[in-house]
Amino acid sequence: MKQILCCLLLVSFFGQAQNYVDLAKFSYGHTFDNRFEGTEFSTNVLILEADLTVPIPINDKYVFVSGVSFTKNRLQLLPDAPYNNLYGTTLKIGMLTQYNDKWSSTLVLLPKVSSDYEQISTKDFYLGGFALFKYQKNEHLTYRFGAYGSREAFGFFTTPIFGFYYISPNTKFEMDISMPISADINYDFKALTLGVDYYGIGRSFNITEELAPKVYVDLGSLEFSGYVQFNTFEKNVLLRLKAGYSSNNFEVYRQGDNIDLGLSAFTFGDDRKQLNPQINDGMFLRFEAIYRFRLEKVEEKIEIID
């Protein structure tokens, strides 16, 4: 599966089975010995991500969503070459709507600037967005479905989204599935949580260095990992250590060498010529820190006031 998604955060809606929202997240990762296929050379990939989400309730039906996310990838794109920095900054602007006790929706625009940030121009600007609908079957299970689309350096990409969120009656076992984007299954032991997860991304970056050829980088990555999570400050601050296996396809193409359409794992009209050797898969380590706002605390305070 090559192009998966450059969607960032599927925001949880108040009142759904998922009774929290992650307001801030920081992530630092490192892959090891990603070899260039057919050569004796390899590269390491440094990954830095930061994400902020600010939900602003308007009334009991609407919540305005804003936020920003930042990513940095540092690696060699060619064997025995200098390291390149690939940056992405994305704004989140959207609206969450509660229609009734069962149905809700999330509509978010995702404009972004994505390149090496050497000489930023309008060619580095892309516009994407997603629509997600949720159906709460009961207090433990919520279904979700929708779609994502974005204009990228390689052309237009879109994918459907299907999944669900499940929390056990004792709140210890949790499943958060949004395929083909992500999956997280975990069990809570109070002070710590053990889990496994999957994350698929697809991004593109223009190379804008003045003396460099006019090219772009097409990133497709799948990450499979296990993690241990330390729950601190009454489970509002989560510290997570992850280890797993990642595919990092940082493919270089000439600007203007595009596909007709990217649809989930498939590409149509893709006769591009890759300019760098294929980068092989590798192991990775990642540290994450999450600030999680738990909605049940708000409900408890309201009950006390009443």
pLDDT digits (tens, 9 = 90+) for 14-62: 335 667 889 999 999 999 889 999 899 999 999 999 999 999 999 989 9
User: Is residue 305 scored above 60 in pLDDT?
Assistant: no
CA distance from start to end of the chain? 52
Domain count, the chain: 1
| Position 250 in a domain | yes
User: Per the domain annotation, does 12 fall within a domain?
Assistant: no
Phi, psi dihedrals of residue 305, rounded to the nearest 5°: -65, -40
Q: What is the pLDDT of residue 248?
A: 82
The verdict on residue 165 lying in a domain is yes
Q: Is residue 13 part of a domain?
A: no
> How many residues in the chain?
306
Residue 5 has pLDDT above 50, yes or no: no
> Does residue 166 sit in helix, strand or coil?
strand
Kindly state whether residue 168 falls inside one of the protein's structural domains. yes
Instruction: Name the phi and psi angles at 122, rounded to 5.
Output: -65, -20
Residue ranges making up the domain that contains 256? 20-305
Q: What is the pLDDT of residue 108?
A: 96
**Residue 276 included in any domain:** yes
Indicate whether 158 belongs to any domain.
yes
- Indicate whether 14 belongs to any domain: no
* Tens digit of each residue's pLDDT (9 = 90 or more) over 255-278: 999 988 887 767 788 899 999 999
